[in-house]
Amino acid sequence: MNHPYFTREELAQVQSMIKRLIRMLDSQLTVADVNQVDRILRGAVSNGHYVRDKYGLNPVVRFLRTALTLTENIAPDRSMVIATLLFNLARSGYVTVENVRKLFGEDIAKLVKGLVNVSELYRKQAAVEDDNFHKLLLSFAADIRVVIIMIVDRLALMREINLHEDEKFVREISTESRYLYAPLAHKLGLYGIKSELEDLSLKYLNRKVYNQIARKLNETKVNRDKYIADFVKPIKEALDKSGLKYEMKGRTKSINSIWNKMVKQGVDLNGVYDLFAIRIILDTPVDEEKKACWIAYSIVTDIYMANVSRLRDWITIPKSNGYESLHITVRGPEDKWVEVQIRTQRMDEVAERGLAAHWRYKGVKSEGEIDQWMNNVREVLEAGVDGQMELIRNMNMNLYEKEVFVFTPKGDLFKLRQGATVLDFAFHIHTKIGCRCTGAKIDGKTQKINYVLKSGDTVEIMTSSTQVPRQDWLNYVVTSKARNKIKQAINEANLKKAEIGREMLTRRMKNRKVDSDDAMLAKFIKKQGFKNINDFYVELHDRNLDVVATIDQYVEFMKRQTETVSSHETAENFVLVSKKSDEQESDDILVIGENVKGINYKLSKCCNPIYGDRIMGFIASDGAIKIHRSDCGNLKHLKEKYPYRIIKSEWSGRMGKQFVATLRVVGQDDIGIVANMTSLINKEGNAMLRNITINSLDGLFEGYLVISVDSLDHLDELMKKMRSLKGVKEVQRT
């Protein structure tokens, strides 16, 4: 590929890497594959699609290096290598996914499409350390091999940008590597790549610290190697005597790991806890693994004193990612702490390369299984094992099919449930924004509030100060948060309307001198077909009910109630007698007592007089006498219009019957308070609850209880007991 686009050094690198790739993929690549890729790359360079990027990097060199790293460290795989070399050209438009499908097949086209999709996410300027970004990336990738290619490509890029002149670019790449690619590599069991990414990130982000630790480690390497040799000598002798088959490795922890410990422990390099690490790898049958590990544990701890608080038993209970090992920390010579890892060959292969073969993925059922699935995929990363990559070709990557991830214009990333709309997102951000939402701009295009969001959308909410939540909004949301906030906003608005409607009605009634009896009004409202009193007042506020006509209906209703027979009692217990009163010697007084006949009376239902109340009678047009309480609002109205039909009345002795009283109770809207009230009434032997109506408002309840009692004294005692109930604030007779 002779072209001025390449430097002499780059040409040599390209030729060397192509030869190595062809040699390593000899059994998978055909001559046609090689010729097709070569033709496409040459054409792209000639047509200006494969030029150096703005940072001066040669993409041909970069992606060849990525393909070679994939082949050397992961597994020889035709599809992944060809997709790695072509996806950048698909992104630039030189080739299409359909072209790739025709030339190389569906599998490679799928990988190219996934790589292009993921590359689009970077245009959103999202914070890569955001866990939601990780999930969205996996969702866009559609194939786990796409994620693997991305991780390896990042490693190749990190190796290439050492001492790059654009410091900002290096810091951005290093930050992404540290917070996105290293964690992904860890989940997939690519521990070597993960450690190298972390070390390189530390090197580029804090070169001074990195160099200090590297220099110190280099200066002490001879002494450290000698220390490790002296440390393992007695262990080897004891293991040899035990008959265990083993391999032993000694190492110093990675620079990034050492730096993390220095920061966490607040010490310098000399004070780092367990700087050394020894690994004992046992060769033993699977059914004897645990036994062999614990034998090795006892041998080590017999020689060196163990720190029991630092014991980590991941043999009995492996980590969620499949990692198995027994970690102990012992005090070695010179009082230095050394970490000893004990595991079998199988466990070591899992830790280093991935899960053993013979496992097949069968599906992810829940969010909690996703990390486990990611870790199980590690089996495909065993380099050099034929057929391993075939296991993941058809894996389902719809890990987050029940979720949708969207961006704000600033790059913030949010997660919502699948099917969420613009309105859901607006309420997810803030209730005020949701209540004022009029629509949104999705990737610059205006959409309505019921637009269903898709993963990767950039959403800019549009609002208006005149917008208010409506009942039909409940049809446009799927999240419980948005639904609850809409209901709450509508209820709060209705409560304000109801209060205004109540004040409006009360003011008009006062102007017309119409008595506003709460109990009577509640009955009237119920008679109008309203189950909730507030709904009635909202209708008044919204002018759906005419205030004047409503008051006229209420007055007529009161008139009918006043004339309604409230009891089926006959006049057997009443008599109109001549009695001298202190105020007026010759007044006739209606006396209610036992064994008296000849008087037709009716207890007025509007005020429900009971024995002990001060009462008065009113002679109705049919000749019957209506008995009212003296403080009855309707009686006051009747006195003004028909004073000559009013008769003084009083009780005489017990009636031998029960009377009906209506109580208005106000209290805290707590669970169980109504049950406590009804229980109290039921415990009163001479009282009976006949009806109850409860309305809730702003954490309070207002209830009307219709009760049968013997007398006023009995009622007063009952009201006193009800006021003592926890949560009851007010008890009044209506």
632 CB-near residues (< 8 Å, 6+ apart) = 604, 606, 607, 609
Position 709 pLDDT exceeds 90:
no
Report the pLDDT averaged over residues 678-706.
77
Q: Which residue has the tokens 């599809």?
A: 79
Per-position DSSP letters for 275-331, written without gaps between them: -EEEEEEE---GGGHHHHHHHHHHHHHHHSEE-GGG-EETTTS--TT----EEEEEE
Beta-sheet pairing, 659-668 with 601-603: unpaired
pLDDT digits (tens, 9 = 90+) for 460-493: 999 999 998 988 999 999 988 898 889 888 888 8
What is the CB-side half-sphere exposure of residue 464 using CA atoms within 13 A? 8
pLDDT digits (tens, 9 = 90+) for 325-340: 999 999 988 888 888 9
pLDDT at 506: 85
Q: Which of 184, 174, 104 is nearest to 144 (CA)?
A: 184
Q: Where are the beta strands (DSSP E) in 186-302?
A: 246-252, 276-282
pLDDT digits (tens, 9 = 90+) for 583-622: 444 456 777 555 545 667 777 877 888 877 888 888 876 6
Are the CB atoms for 554 and 521 separated by under 8 Å? Answer: yes
Q: Which fold has domain 215-352?
A: Beta Polymerase; domain 2 (3.30.460)
A 10 A CB-CB count for 698 gives: 8
A 10 A CB-CB count for 676 gives: 15
Q: Which of 675, 659, 660 is nearest to 706 (CA)?
A: 660
pLDDT at 401: 58
Position 303 pLDDT exceeds 50:
yes
Q: Which of 298, 283, 278, 181 is nearest to 238 (CA)?
A: 298
Are the CB atoms for 282 and 293 separated by under 8 Å? Answer: yes
pLDDT digits (tens, 9 = 90+) for 489-515: 888 888 888 888 888 888 888 888 887
Most confident of 397-401, 621-625, 717-721: 717-721
pLDDT digits (tens, 9 = 90+) for 78-93: 888 999 999 889 988 8
Most confident of 273-282, 327-336, 562-571: 327-336
pLDDT bracket for residue 383 (50, 70, 90): very low
Q: What are the C-alpha distances in Å from 641 to residues 614, 644, 646?
A: 21, 9, 10
- Gap between the Cα atoms of 422 and 406, Å rounded: 10
pLDDT digits (tens, 9 = 90+) for 13-68: 888 888 888 888 887 888 888 888 889 988 888 887 777 888 888 888 889 999 99
Position 572 pLDDT exceeds 80:
no
Q: What are the C-alpha distances in Å from 65 to residues 61, 72, 155, 192, 268?
A: 6, 10, 10, 17, 37
- Provide the β-strand partners of residue 651: 592
Buried b (16+ CB within 10 A) or exposed e, 31-56: eebeebbeebbeebbeeebbeeeeee
Q: What percent of the chain has pLDDT over 70?
A: 81
Q: Which fold has domain 8-205?
A: Hypothetical protein af1432 (1.10.3210)
pLDDT at 655: 54
Report the pLDDT averaged over residues 350-375.
41
Position 571 pLDDT exceeds 50:
no
pLDDT digits (tens, 9 = 90+) for 125-142: 555 555 566 566 666 666
Helix (H) or strand (E) holding 412: none
- Gap between the Cα atoms of 608 and 596, Å rounded: 22
Most confident of 434-438, 675-679, 692-696: 434-438
Domain boundaries, the chain: 8-205, 215-352, 403-469, 489-562, 574-651, 659-733
- Gap between the Cα atoms of 256 and 182, Å rounded: 12
pLDDT digits (tens, 9 = 90+) for 631-685: 888 888 888 878 878 888 887 655 556 777 888 888 887 767 777 888 888 777 7
Q: For residue 693, what are its two tokens?
A: 């109506």
Domain 659-733 class in CATH: alpha beta
pLDDT at 695: 76
- Gap between the Cα atoms of 611 and 635, Å rounded: 18
- Gap between the Cα atoms of 508 and 550, Å rounded: 10
Superfamily of the domain at 403-469: Beta-grasp domain (3.10.20.30)
Higher pLDDT, 196 or 583: 196
Rg (CA), the chain: 43
At 503 the three-state DSSP class reads helix
pLDDT at 705: 82
pLDDT at 381: 43
pLDDT at 576: 42
Q: Hey, CA dihedral for 318, 324, 328, 334, is it positive or negative?
A: negative
Per-position DSSP letters for 76-112, written without gaps between them: --HHHHHHHHHHHHHHHTSS-HHHHHHHH-HHHHHHH
Are the CB atoms for 86 and 67 separated by under 8 Å? Answer: no
Q: Comparing 58-72, 226-240, 488-502, 558-572, which segment has the lowest mean pLDDT? A: 558-572
- Gap between the Cα atoms of 502 and 540, Å rounded: 8
pLDDT at 368: 42
- Provide the β-strand partners of residue 463: 437
pLDDT bracket for residue 271 (50, 70, 90): low
Position 227 pLDDT exceeds 60:
yes
Q: Hey, CA dihedral for 203, 208, 213, 216, is it positive or negative?
A: positive
Q: For residue 334, what are its two tokens?
A: 């010179």
pLDDT bracket for residue 443 (50, 70, 90): confident
- Gap between the Cα atoms of 88 and 51, Å rounded: 11
At 253 the three-state DSSP class reads coil
Position 581 pLDDT exceeds 70:
no
SS3 content of the chain, % helix, strand, coil (to 5): 50, 15, 30
pLDDT at 250: 77
Q: Quote the mean pLDDT of the chain.
A: 79
At 246 the three-state DSSP class reads strand
pLDDT digits (tens, 9 = 90+) for 203-215: 999 999 999 888 8
- Gap between the Cα atoms of 570 and 596, Å rounded: 11
